[in-house]
A and B are shown apart, each in its own frame.
Chain A
Amino acid sequence: MQKLNLFQLNADRVPDLKEMFAADFTPASAEERVSATESRKSVSYWRDALRRFKQNKVSMGALALFFIIFLFSFLGPMLIPYNYADQYRCSMKLAPGEFSKAEMTAKAALEHADLIYDTVLSPGSISSLSRNTTYWFRHKGVTYSFYNEKTLGDVIVLFRAEDADPLVYISEKDAENGVFDNITVIAYSTENIDTRAENTARLPLIKSVCPHVFGTDSAGRDLMARCMYGGRVSLSIGIIAALIVLFIGSLYGSVAGLIGGKVDFIMMRVVDIIYSVPDVLIVLLLQVVLKDPLQAWLDSSPSGFARMMSNLGVGIVSIFITFACLYWVGMSRIVRGQVLQLKSQEFVTAATALGVPRSRIVKRHLLPNSVGQLVIATCLQIPSAIFLESFLSFLGLGVSIPMTSLGSLCSDALETITLYPYRLLYPGIILTLLVLTLNLVGDGIRDALDPRLK
């Protein structure tokens, strides 16, 4: 019997001969062999990228923060009673959370009533009840209305549902001094009236005085409402500008890349020239130059499109035009680079060799593989658009009054910065966070689609 020699190197692992001989030496069948190997589930490229993105805690956090800011800007106005343009004469230059004298008075008055209407607290220059007007309001399904003969200024209307005389008013002065029993009764009726008739107005009673969380500016406008509005403007401009760049850039770049040859050469020379022009200088010039003629054109043109544009304001439209003229070049280079790279890949050659028509190659092979780069580029274009817009607004060349953006809010705050630093801090921080979160999300998408061992 031939000696069973364990190879000398592994001499320390002396096997049990008996055990070895007792093994099952019958041949294994093909099925047994196959079942011995579990194959891993194959994961699609996109699902894999999504998984990687979800694992990236920083990007997920940034995405969540971005949504918070987004909701703040777009849904926030529904939560606070203040408007970005309303000027509250009585509440000027308030610090965050601070209440003005008039507001304190109103709060005191609320302790003596269910609902109040304080003429001093109303926005704008009208701080009185107009004469010859029927005021109405609804409470628990009942419409209360009363006719006001004379102009009634500096009063607080109190509504106590359970009282014999539920609707009364007191003078502002009395309320300031803490005197709440010098009341004048208002004759009211609960009949149904036509609320849309002339000389009727709704009486906006309030249940509580909402604090100005961010304070107010010198004209008495609530800063939080303005920040929300500014956020909306900045975000919208950023997103639309990025989409414009995406559209023009990818069209141009893919045409250049697909056609190739002389056409590509000429198109890319044009891109090079535009690229070498210092953009911000031209942007500034364009802003100046476009403002007046654009305004003239918008005023004179009757089309609906022009109407919409003029609502946006000349500043914004000219920002869009400058973007459309200058900023698509970066995107077109990226797209062209992608197209060229993909065109030379073997799967495209294989598809062409199989006789697949060009449009199908574009649709099924080139587009899906480019989407990743396009998403990243667009996502990173939004913050740079927001940056540019706020830069222009800061210098006074961006959005025009009455519209405001985060950049112009910062610019306005600069004058009184030593006294009221919070006026700069709030829009400035929101702006920074907006840009930061978008940058992080863009980076996260890039890492998810093209992972390198970090």
Chain B
Amino acid sequence: MLSYVAKRIGVSILTLLLIICITFLLMNAVPGSPFMTEKSTPEMIAMAEAKYGLDKPLIVQLWNYIKGYFQGDMGVSLKMQKGTDVTTIIFREGKFVLSFKLGVWAVLLAVIVGVPLGCIAAYNRGSWIDSVLRVMTTVGVAIPSFVLCSLLLIYCGVKWELLPVISGSLTDWKAYIAPVIGLSFYPMCYIAKLTRTSMLDAINQDYIRTARAKGLKTGHIIFKHALRNCLIPVITYLGPMTAGIITGGFVVEQTFQIPGLGKYFISSILNRDYPIIMGTTVVLAALVIMMNLIVDITYKLVDPRISLIKGDS
């Protein structure tokens, strides 16, 4: 078990390094210097580049970057907030915390609502509850997040004035409702569908037949025997779901005008502020990789068939 964990951590670090390299290469593949404006002369550009260390050979720059990253130094913003540390921008100006809070709430909501809904649908298979839930979740995964958020904005926010929508910095707990719902809706529906299918799969397994033959109560069978086996695909989904929540966050922050990391990232892309683009990419990628790592480890814990391999395959 321990060796498995160590191996997975090693692979994660490698992937992170790979991402840093890829991003770096991409940034440098764009012709033209970030310092180029209409008025700049070649000498000015060269001076600016030297100041920021951009005149050194690529490999050296890459090495400096990686070194810096692992020491917590992500460079300095070149356009949007000239001269400010990227690390400061991301972490100390509250952007990351804001997006993180939003994301965590969304994940919790998606799992806490999605799994029971899926179980209810599976348990009542064929009844009207099941049909309603299936329709809802099928439509739910087809609605693009920006459409949903915009709809929430107009109808719940403005027309019917149910929820405050100038969310600003999410100071009031009520301001969380609309963006969290918008962010968690797709994963919630997807998890409900996934749970329903894997629950139905689990119910059709032979060991459930054995449990029924033993005369166990139905509730007991579902909660003890079926649930644990059906959660395995759901846990596996948590990895891709994190990536989805991060990208969904871009849309939500854009729509509700929340000054989080996602919105800033999009602006930095449109403004070509490379250090910020790189820094944010690495931070977000690290989040996803970490989540995947946690999922892989949890997966092995939940399913004893795999964690206890001692020469038996």
Contact = CB atoms under 8 A, between A and B. Distances in A.
B and A form one assembly: yes
Contact of A436 (B26, B138, B272, B277): B138
**Residues of B contacting A: mostly:** helix
Contacts of A431: 144, 147
B281 A281 contact: yes
Interface in B1-52: 11, 15, 18-19, 22-23, 26-27, 29-32
B208 interface: no
Contacts of B29: 289, 293
A282 interface: yes
Interface string A242-273: 00000000000000000000000000000001
A391 B247 contact: yes
A342 interface: no
B229 interface: no
A417 B150 contact: yes
B31 to A, nearest CB: 6
Given A395-B266, A414-B255, A276 B146 contact: no
B221 interface: no
Interface in A404-450: 407, 410-411, 413-414, 417-418, 421, 424-425, 428, 431-433, 435-436, 439-440
B138 A288 contact: no
A297 to B, nearest CB: 11
B139 A436 contact: yes
A273 B15 contact: yes
Contact of A285 (B243, B251, B281): B281
A391 B247 CA distance: 9
B259 to A, nearest CB: 16
B250 A439 contact: no
B302 interface: no
A51 B30 CA distance: 54
B285 interface: yes
Interface in A300-354: none
Interface string A270-296: 000100111111101110110011001
Interface stretch (B66-74, B151-159, B172-180): B151-159
Given A285-B277, A292-B32, A435-B142, A278 B288 contact: yes
A395 B255 CA distance: 10
B138 A440 contact: yes
Given A278-B243, A289-B29, A396-B266, 8 more contacts: A278-B19, A284-B269, A288-B277, A394-B254, A397-B269, A418-B158, A432-B139, A435-B144
Contacts of B159: 421
A277 B27 contact: no
Given A282-B22, A285-B23, A428 B144 contact: yes
Given A276-B15, A418-B158, A440-B138, A391 B251 contact: yes
9 tightest CB-CB pairs across the interface, nearest first?
A436-B142, A428-B147, A435-B142, A280-B247, A278-B288, A289-B26, A394-B146, A278-B243, A432-B143
A349 B84 CA distance: 66
A290 to B, nearest CB: 9
Contact of B18 (A273, A390, A436): A273
A383 interface: yes
Contacts of A391: 144-146, 247, 251
A431 B255 CA distance: 18
Contact of B26 (A286, A387, A396): A286
Contact of A421 (B23, B31, B154): B154
B270 interface: yes
A421 B155 CA distance: 9
Contact of A293 (B30, B147, B151): B30
A292 B272 CA distance: 12
Contacts of A435: 142-144
Interface residues of B, number: 45
Contacts of A284: 269
A288 B269 contact: yes
A356 B138 CA distance: 45
A216 B150 CA distance: 19
A437 to B, nearest CB: 8
Nearest to B125: A454
Contacts of B277: 285, 288
A395 B31 contact: no
A145 to B, nearest CB: 50
A285 B274 CA distance: 10
Contacts of A278: 19, 243, 246, 284-285, 288-289
Nearest to A387: B144
A404 to B, nearest CB: 15
A396 B267 CA distance: 10
A418 B154 contact: yes
B150 A410 contact: yes
A439 B141 contact: yes
A277 B30 CA distance: 21
A424 B150 contact: yes
Contacts of A394: 144, 146, 251, 254
B167 interface: no
Contacts of B254: 394-395
Contacts of B269: 284-285, 288, 397
Interface in A365-421: 383, 387, 390-391, 394-397, 407, 410-411, 413-414, 417-418, 421
B15 A432 contact: no
A413 B147 CA distance: 10
Contacts of B18: 273, 277
B147 A288 contact: no
Given A418-B154, A432-B142, A277 B281 contact: no
A397 B159 CA distance: 30
14 contacts: A273-B18, A280-B247, A285-B23, A285-B269, A285-B281, A288-B272, A296-B31, A394-B251, A395-B254, A410-B144, A410-B147, A432-B139, A433-B142, A439-B142
Nearest to B250: A395
